[in-house]
Each structure stands twice: as structure tokens, then as C-alpha cells.
Amino acid sequence: MRRLPLALAVAALLTFATGCGSLSPPGANTATAPRLVDARPVRDGGTAVIGLKSDPDKLDPTLTGTLVARTVFTSMCEQLYDVDQHNRFVPQLAATLPKITDGGRTFTFDVRRDARFSDGAKLDAKAVTTSLDRDLHLPGSGRASEIDSVEKVEAIAPYTVRLTLKHPDTPLLGRLANTAGLVMSPKAIATYGKSFATHPSCVGPFKYVKRVVGDRIELTKDPLYYDADKVHLDHVVYKTITDGNIRLANLRSGDVQIGDQMGPVEVRSGMGDKALQLLNTPSLGYMALTLNVGNTDGVDKKPGHVDTPFGRDVRVREAFDLSLDRELINKLVFQDMYEPACGPVPPGTPLSTPVTCPGRDVAKAKRLLKAAGVHTPVPLELMINTTPEDNRLGQVIQAMAKDAGFDVRLRPTEFATGLTRTLAGDFQARTGGWGGQPDPAGNIDSLVGTTGSNNQGKLSDPEIDRLITAGRSTADPAKRRVIYQQLTRAINRQHAVIYLYRNINYAVASKDISGIALSGDGLIRVKEAGYVKGGQG
């Protein structure tokens, strides 16, 4: 058994070294040896079809709410900052990292001078302020709450932007390296207004051509792009193929060249296919089990008193946590292709510190339940999604928790219904994921802070709130790292959000195509992708 991880590590390393391995088992060692790029030389021309897991919503950076839309934006809309393969922030449309002054209340940065939008408009400081103002003030903006610390956006010189903040907000840089940092053409904004999504125009290697809802989004190479010399493909087509098996079948038949967000089962199924290659990177998010400890009147109301053993006594929650074996969950449900998680801060990011998972301890769990004085088995209704994976996850949790004295009843619930019930506080426990951001604040503040808009279980702890504020207002990375280490411990002491596992982003691609990059944020970049000599296209 000991030899398997070693073999997997060697396989992963070989794949990384050659840059063109066949689809080989990544196993648990992918986190230490992820393969993020395929850098074989390519020729110009051809069309790459990318299979997406779901259909993007509005192709409007201000209004979008889906990760999959961001995947499309990587080809047609660049952002002020980007995340490199080491999860560090790097300028993209900004020319410099922001100069943070005035005790963290002012962000000043320059923007590129050589960029044009696909509709011919020029990128300058004014274009950036137009975009950010729209993000802040357009009704329905999904970005407004992300950058609500910004009080004023100014173009202080033709290519210099200054953001004045209401309060210090160090994690703002992380949000400018996310959807909020996407810059839209001021000309298109003026022409189409709220209907920008029908004619999206940004700075990017490819420009929008056409969209057929539920089917495909067609892009073509943008000759105005400042880095057009590096762009090899003529066209990129994003095709929605929701079923993983079908996505894999299309990859194998050659109808699709790149499969985004492939699940463990499909990656395993495709192994051994010599025409395919695998790219993978650890996710910045997490999957967790959230217990309702204070959501009595809705997520937007003040925390109340949930009168259940889980709501009343932290020892019951700790016992539940101790009944779970994260390693085994990963093996049984995800074919050992994800990673156990026990904290909100993604490992491998600049502010992360190692966290030790508590491990399964049924005897201690039973002792805790006895000390809490509850009748066993302690009932718990666990809401899960209706996917096969979630079903398996629920069953494994049910079986493990039973050993410690819990009676878990599973309630598979369709997404929209589950979401409504969760936000209304009509649940005891639910499994769910968080997409994740490189800055730890993005994985913590809104999820466990007392006033957090996504604090579904309504956990409320003064120590956690204090540390959240400290993390936001501290600029020194070393100090912030300590704060987020303390914050992780404080959250874990409450056992209200039980972190279970961390996805690994898997992208499967045809070996005919190269130059694909999978950054730390898990998004596929095809800016420099192309067909290798002899490939189709």
C-alpha cells in the first residue's frame, strides 16, 4: 500500500517534466506536483472547443454570478490583476501592483497604455473608473458588495487610477484579481447599458461573436489585442456539456478539445487514453458541512437560538466532527482524487499555514455526547444536493456518524429549493461548497462573520469577528498570516462549519492541443494555446 503514493508521485512528476503525459492517475499527490501548463510549441490557426460543466449566466462582469462565466471571461475580458500559478497577484490590465497608502485607505495604480477594447475604444484610467462605477452603482450588481469598501473612484491622470476607501481593506486587491477587476469597454457600456451581455466588449485575446443559450459561446481572435502575437488559435468555442460522461465521450471522439471541471469519476474513466492529457490544480475553495447554530429567521437577520442538540452544545458538534474520517471520505466518494480539508484557508496560498485535521476518534465522540447529556442516537437531518456524488457523500457521513451515536437522515434537495431553505434557516445541516479566493478573507469574512451575507448557519463568535476585522485592516503579510492562523483555530473550535475536503480542479485536454494554462484559481486559460504540429484544427 505504501508504494502506491510513491508511484503516483513519480507518475505526476514525469507528466510534469515531459509536459505531455497521457491521462495518468494524479492521486493524492497532485497537490504537491500539480501540472498547470502544457508548454509544447504550437502552430497558428484552428478552433478549440472547450466543454463547460454548466451554462454561463450573463456575459456581463457586473451582473454575472457564476464561476463558469469567469472561465469564458479569461478569453475575452481581462482584469486589473490576475493570479499566477503560485497564487500570487500579478498585474494584468493594471501596469503596477497598487500603492496602498493612508493607512490602507487609498489604492493607487497605473493601467496599461497599449491596450484597446474589442470595439476599438482605448483602455485608460477613465475606462477603468467607468467600469468600477458601474460595478458599484448598477442595480443588481453582483460586484457592489465585493467592493463596497470603495468610497470614490478617480482617474487622477490619463493612466492612473485612485481608489479611496471608507475603511482599510487589504483583501480588496484579491477582489480586483477576481470578477470585480474585469474591465468593460466604456463605449459598449454607453451603447448597450444593462444589455451589455448581448454585445460584451473587453480587452482580451479573443472577442465575442455569438452565443446560443444552453449550447455555445463563439469567440474569435481579436486583432486589436495588445498581446496578439502570442495568440495562436483563430477561434474558441465554449460548449455547455453538463454531464461529465458525455463531456469525456466528446473529448475522446475529438469533438471537444478541452474539458473543464472534470469530476474524479470521469478522470479515472479516461485514464489510459493516450490521446488525452491531464492538467490539475488544487482548488482555492472548500467543501464543508454547515450546521445551523443560529439561523432562525433568515441569513440576513440577527442570529437566534436554534433549539437542537447541535445548536445548544458545541460538544455535540465536536463529537459529530470527530466521527468523520476525511481521508476515507476522499477515498470512498472521490476516488482519492481530492484532498481532505480542515480549514478555510487554501494551502499553497501566500497567507496559508499548515492545519492538522482532528482525525476520527469515535471513543472521544461518544464521551463528548455523554458529557453533553444528550440522548443517543442524536437525530440530524442533512440536506444534500441531488447529484450522485453528494448522495454518496451523504451516505458515507451517515454511516460514519452512526458509529458515534448520531442518526443522520438524508434529504436530497434540488439546488434552488435547497438554497432558499438554507438562507431562510429552514435546515439543520447541509453540505455545500465555496468557490474560493486566494486571499483568505474571501473564504472567511462573509461565511462565518456574524453579519456575513453567506453565514448560512449564523455562527456568531466575538473572537472570530474581532480577527476578521484585524485581517481586513492589516497590510503586513506576516501579521496577516498569524491572524488567519488564529482565525482558523477559532472557527474550528466552534465546529459549526465542518470543513471536509478540497476539490482539485481537473482539466482534460486532447494531446493535439498545447499551451493551455490552468492557474491557481482553477480557470483554464487558452490565450497561448494552439495545435501542435500534425494536430487537427
Q: Which residues bind other proteins (CB under 8 A)?
A: 55-60, 63, 65-66, 139-142, 144-145, 194-195, 197-198, 211-216, 239-243, 245-246, 249-250, 252-256, 300, 414-420, 423, 432, 434-435, 453-454
Q: Quick one: 215 or 476, whose CB is closer to other proteins?
A: 215
Nearest distance from C-beta of residue 252 to other proteins, angstroms: 5
Q: Quick one: 122 or 194, whose CB is closer to other proteins?
A: 194
- Pairing of β 150-157 and β 524-525: unpaired
Q: Quick one: 353 or 453, whose CB is closer to other proteins?
A: 453
Q: Quick one: 197 or 231, whose CB is closer to other proteins?
A: 197
Nearest distance from C-beta of residue 299 to other proteins, angstroms: 9
Nearest distance from C-beta of residue 143 to other proteins, angstroms: 9
Q: What is the SS3 string spanning 247-314?
A: HHHHHHHCCCCEECCCCHHHHHHHCCCCCEEEEEEECCCEEEEEECCCCCCCCCCCCCCCCCHHHHCH
* E strand segments, 87-129: 89-91, 99-101, 106-110
Whose CA is closest to 283, among 74, 505, 83? 505
Task: Give residue for cell 434557516.
Answer: 425
Name the β-bridge partners of 108: 99, 162
102: left (phi over 0), alpha (psi -120 to 50) or beta: left
CA of residue 449 relative to chain centroid, distance: 19
Nearest distance from C-beta of residue 514 to other proteins, angstroms: 22
Nearest distance from C-beta of residue 65 to other proteins, angstroms: 4
Q: Quick one: 85 or 245, whose CB is closer to other proteins?
A: 245
Q: Quick one: 135 or 321, whose CB is closer to other proteins?
A: 135
As a whole number of angstroms, the distance between CA 51 and CA 250 comes to: 8
Nearest distance from C-beta of residue 480 to other proteins, angstroms: 23
Nearest distance from C-beta of residue 350 to other proteins, angstroms: 22
- Give me the phi and psi of 171, to 5 degrees please: -65, -5
Nearest distance from C-beta of residue 249 to other proteins, angstroms: 5
* Count of positions (residues) in the chain: 537
Sorted by sequence, the CB contacts under 8 Å of residue 335 that are 6+ apart come out as 264, 265, 268
Nearest distance from C-beta of residue 477 to other proteins, angstroms: 25
As a whole number of angstroms, the distance between CA 80 and CA 385 comes to: 35
Cell matching residue 345: 484557508
Q: Quick one: 66 or 395, whose CB is closer to other proteins?
A: 66
Nearest distance from C-beta of residue 240 to other proteins, angstroms: 8
Q: Quick one: 158 or 298, whose CB is closer to other proteins?
A: 298
Q: What is the SS3 string spanning 441-494?
A: HHHHHHHHCCCCCCCCCCCCCHHHHHHHHHHHHCCCHHHHHHHHHHHHHHHHHH
Q: Could you say which DSSP state residue 134 is in? A: H
Q: Quick one: 29 or 64, whose CB is closer to other proteins?
A: 64
Whose CA is closest to 455, among 318, 253, 332, 300? 300
Q: Quick one: 102 or 243, whose CB is closer to other proteins?
A: 243
